Structure 1
Amino acid sequence: MIDTPQATLPGVTPIKRRSDAKHADRAAKQAAYRARKDLKAVTIQLPTALAERLDAWLAAKGKHKSETIARLIETQLLRPR
């Protein structure tokens, strides 16, 4: 077992952080983005056929999945009745 945080492979140079980098890694950068935009990640499970139809529809319309699902939740599921 290697005690170093990142093992090095022969012939592969490790990626070095820029000295002016704001975030420790990509996960920290994504977390900062979500905090700034007041977003929460939500995972859903769909049947494969439905997911493929949704992806095809979104591609044909040129829309984004998150925006479309958020709009549908607001206008269809949580609408005032």
Structure 2
Amino acid sequence: MALEKTIARLDDYYARLKSDKADRIKVRHVEKVILKLEAKQEALRKDLEKATKPSKRERLEAKLKIVHDQMARARWLRKQITKSE
């Protein structure tokens, strides 16, 4: 489902790009986001190691999953942008 939304957003982006209503996404922008996500993932892993309460561990694991999913989408977007250049 999330991938379908991402594809729809990318299609919308390309439509706006054709009508000069959007700037082109550059690979370096996506790379910057990926680096931030990797840093966030590392910080969450360290917090997870320190966490002792089960409820806090669950929240951190959920956040880690979200970051993992976002990284997958960012890598997918990078691949799509690289193809179109």
Give the TM bin, normalised by the shorter chain.
under 0.3
How does the TM-score come out when normalised to structure 2?
0.26
Which one scores higher on RCO, CA 8 angstroms, separation ≥ 6?
2
Higher helix share: 2
Structure number with greater Rg is: 1
